[in-house]
Amino acid sequence: MVYENNSILSLLENGEMLKSLRRHT
């Protein structure tokens, strides 16, 4: 379960990073 939660958290972080990148451009 911990591993699954970690992957989900990483996915959410990646999504936030993409949003921030889009804001920059």
Average confidence (pLDDT) over 1-25: 84
pLDDT band at 16 (very low <50, low <70, confident <90, very high): very high
Specify the pLDDT at position 8.
Answer: 87
Which residue in 23, 21, 19, 1 sits closest to 9, CA to CA? 1
Mean pLDDT of 3-14: 86
Provide the 8-state DSSP code for 21: H
**Could you give the CA distance from residue 25 to residue 14 in angstroms, rounded to a whole number?**
17
Task: Note the pTM of the prediction, 2 decimals.
Answer: 0.48
For residues 11 and 23, the model is more confident at: 11
Q: How confident is the model at residue 1 (pLDDT cuts 50, 70, 90)?
A: low
